[in-house]
Amino acid sequence: MSISIIAASLFVCTFVSADPIRFDGHKVLQILPHNVEQLEQVLQLHDLLDLDIWRLPRKNNISMDVYVEPEKLDHVLTEIKAIGADVKIWIDDLQKLIDEEKQPAKRSFHLPIPLHGKNAVFDHLSYHRFATIKQYLADVVTATQSMSTVNASLSTIGYSSEANEIQVLKVSRGDGQSRPSIFIDGGIHAREWISPATVLYFINQMVYGDEFDYAPQLLDKFDWYFAPVLNPDGYEYSHTTYRLWRKNRVPNGRNCYGTDLNRNFGYQWNPNVGGSTNVCSDVYSGTNAFSEKESTAVQTFLLNNNQNMVAYLTYHSYGQMWLYPWGYTSALPDDWQDLDAAAKIGTSALSELYGTQYTVGSSTNVLYSAAGGSDDWAKGGAGVKYSYTIELRDTGAHGFVLPQNQIEPNCRESWRGLAAFAMSLNARKG
């Protein structure tokens, strides 16, 4: 969910290459405004120079991460110093991180890797292309046909502008009983690869069993809906062409592509709050609420299945935050204390493995104001009480380019957090 206001260049919107665009010498700066005036001046600078803000502070005296191309670096550094804000180079060479991201991770004994299909192995410690993910979901369905204690069914809830399937996998006991349900999605923002990887890991643990033995309890108490890749076009484009692509790939005219799906949901939709009416902006909110096929598919599915839905969780990166509504205002929901308490149970359990610390709070008060988010709509529009945006690892060292060697620890701790959170909801229900 980390914000990026203007696309790095119009060139990126239209260029298609046999090889992905490289980022040699591209930097990520960490800028620290000391007062509101400095913060406003930095934000004016990003509009003027088309900067890509990866992480935006909600107030002064909190640092912001800003991606800068080499040809802009000297100008940006000069302007920031003239403003009086502190600035340092946080990531010196983005291409180096991208290269490191591709390095295979060492396998741990902790992770069960089931065989499926023709003795093929789906490696949960790697980032995968969309076609491979689709095949894995289909293979999970096939595998559960011979299982007596778990069932999986796959639905296509819509299609993207490039006619890719938007799929939801339901995992349940399959015993004919209807249970409270939890919906989990990933991949709304294309470049946040750790998000689909995490949701796929959850599926693996739920279906094949997990080291902590949470799966039996979670299946006894809930039906589960998983949508690992809500933005298949953008996700694939981030693999083939431009690693930092955020939006979907719908053509907008003016040689620009894409709408930020997490500014397009219909509860209190407002491009002036954290979004944009500029079709080239990375936070372009669309022509109207639910203008996009992907957000409409989620809307339709949730409204058709929300009768007994108790939680909606959308996984993003980065920043290590467990956020609840509202995103469009600093005001809190009437039941914010319930949301806060449940989230803190999740983050407390999450931290037990590696000591990873997550911040809990409302989106606006912890991160920044942004209308049109999926969690705001899930709560305010679909009536799902426990609705959250979860920002995964890390806190800035790698930003969106999280290396594959962090997939397993990220997923293991996230699984613990999810399990504790879900069981707390069951306990609250009594």
Q: Which residues are catalytic?
A: 391
**Which residue type does 277 have?**
T
Q: What whole-number distance in Å separates Cα of residue 92 and Cα of residue 73?
A: 11
Contact yes or no for 60/36 (Cβ under 8 A): yes
In this structure, how many other beta carbons lie within 10 angstroms of the beta carbon of residue 28? 24
Give the residue from 281, 244, 260 showing the smallest Cα distance to 371. Answer: 260
Q: What whole-number distance in Å separates Cα of residue 383 and Cα of residue 376?
A: 10
Give the residue from 375, 70, 69, 30 showing the smallest Cα distance to 244. Answer: 69
- Following CA atoms 310, 418, 282, 242 in sequence, which dihedral angle do they give, to the nearest 10 degrees? -140
Tell me the CA distances in angstroms from 197 to 122, 359, 412, one per residue in order. 11, 22, 12
Question: Cβ contacts of residue 227 below 8 Å, gap of 6+?
Answer: 157, 166, 167, 168, 169, 183, 184, 185, 186, 199, 298
Question: Cβ contacts of residue 246 below 8 Å, gap of 6+?
Answer: 4, 189, 190, 191, 234, 258, 260, 282
Q: What whole-number distance in Å separates Cα of residue 159 and Cα of residue 52?
A: 29
DSSP for 163-200, written as a single string:
--EEEEEEEE--SS----EEEEEE-SSTT-THHHHHHH
In this structure, how many other beta carbons lie within 10 angstroms of the beta carbon of residue 81? 11
Give the residue from 413, 356, 421, 422 showing the smallest Cα distance to 110. Answer: 413
DSSP for 331-370, written as a single string:
---TTHHHHHHHHHHHHHHHHHHH----EEEEHHHHT---
Give the residue from 12, 1, 56, 19 showing the smallest Cα distance to 258. Answer: 12
